Structure 1
Amino acid sequence: MNVEIRTRPATHLVGIALKTSLRDERNLREIPAFWRQLSQDGALFRLAEGAPIYGAVIEFDPSSRDFTYLAGFEHPVAQPLPQGMQPCELPAGRYAVLTTTPTPPENCGAEIAASWFHLHRTWLPASGYLRGAGPEFERYDERFHPQRALVELELWLPLGEE
């Protein structure tokens, strides 16, 4: 798995939030179910108008391992929030970016979980970098389309000082 170091500007997102947890691997069940529900409803994708979609881990509590997962899209700060949506700021900074291995859409949940595990447990400890402040997130662009035979996405992990 190849990891690149990239710098990006601050990005303002709006989206729909899900409260979940790492406890008992709830997130591995609840986040895929959340995406299925969003896909069936379609409102998030209509509002994004073909722009990339993000899945951001926000409000993480290390003691309880609970967090909020926000599925959203870039949105100008000056514009009003769409009804029922929550804002999220992805800070400017340096990030480790892992592009997942192309995989069939039905297997993407397992690929995403394995890729996050690799980024946190293998790459980060060996990299010389520290985990930075701010949300980690998934970025779904044109390479992630359910009608493609193989899909891929980017995982972005904020980095601190070396």
Structure 2
Amino acid sequence: MSTPIDAAVHPVRFEHSDAFTIAGIGGRFTAATISSIPELWQRFEPHIGRVPGQVGTYTYGVCCNADGKGHFDYIAGVQVADGDVVPADFQQVHLKPQRYAVFEHHGSLDNLKATFQAIWNDWLPASGEQAAHAPEFERYGKDFDPFDSRSVMEIWLPLQTRPN
């Protein structure tokens, strides 16, 4: 018997994305150093809207290259049309076509960890879905304010393709 899915962590939609590239400032993190990610965003903020080849106004926080031992790369960036023209000190991640469950996080980033825990520990096991070995990302609109309790951002969880 499956556990009911809590509406607070139910996906707002499922998406299939085409391939795209995110470029920005990145670093390697662990659970012990994750609190340094806001500093990475502060370093990236002056570049938003000025990155050569930037596509659209969304910003992305991409988690990738997890090693299974708690280490992962995080890139604060924007979508770019051509990774060859971005600054040399930027990191890039190329996301392949992928199916995602898209969740919304409401409020400041102070309780973002709880939203991620609810997705991974409550929704995913009860959903019948399986996470894919692909980058997951946060997507922020141009009006997002990390300190505003009314702000909304999206969490895109990569899912394995279902058999036909």
Q: Give the aligned partner of residue 14 of structure 2.
A: 5
Shift of 1:78: 6.2
**Partner Cα distance (2:86, 2:44) in 1:** 18
Kindly indicate whether residue 102 of structure 2 is the aligned counterpart of residue 97 of structure 1: yes
The amino acid that maps onto 1:114 is: A
TM-score, L = length of structure 1: 0.81
Provide closer, same or farther for how the CA distance between residues 82 and 32 of structure 1 changes in structure 2, counting only shifts above 3 A.
same
Say which of 46, 50, 61 aligns to 1:46: 50
Shift of 1:161: 3.9
CA offsets per residue over residues 24-52 of structure 1, 9 Å max, x none? 3x21x11123223434xx12453258611
Shift of 1:122: 0.7
Provide closer, same or farther for how the CA distance between residues 5 and 34 of structure 1 changes in structure 2, counting only shifts above 3 A.
same
Length, aligned pairs only: 151
Q: Give the aligned partner of residue 31 of structure 1.
A: 37
8 A Cα contact 2:56 2:79, kept in partner: no
Q: Give the aligned partner of residue 80 of structure 2.
A: 75
**Partner Cα distance (1:57, 1:80) in 2:** 23
8 A Cα contact 1:97 1:157, kept in partner: yes
Report SS of the residue matched to 2:40: helix
8 A Cα contact 1:59 1:68, kept in partner: yes
What are the ranges of 5 or more consecutive residues in structure 1 without an aligned counterpart? none
8 A Cα contact 2:23 2:90, kept in partner: yes
Q: Give the aligned partner of residue 5 of structure 2.
A: none
* Identity, % of aligned positions: 28
In terms of fraction of residues, the more helix-rich structure is: 1
Say which of 21, 24, 27 aligns to 1:15: 24
Provide closer, same or farther for how the CA distance between residues 50 and 111 of structure 1 changes in structure 2, counting only shifts above 3 A.
farther
Provide closer, same or farther for how the CA distance between residues 126 and 147 of structure 1 changes in structure 2, counting only shifts above 3 A.
closer
Report SS of the residue matched to 1:121: helix
Aligned structure 1 segments of 4 or more residues deviating by more than 4 angstroms:
146-149
**Partner Cα distance (1:110, 1:147) in 2:** 8
What are the ranges of 5 or more consecutive residues in structure 2 without an aligned counterpart? 1-7
Q: Give the aligned partner of residue 129 of structure 2.
A: 129
How large is the Cα RMSD of the aligned pairs? 2.3
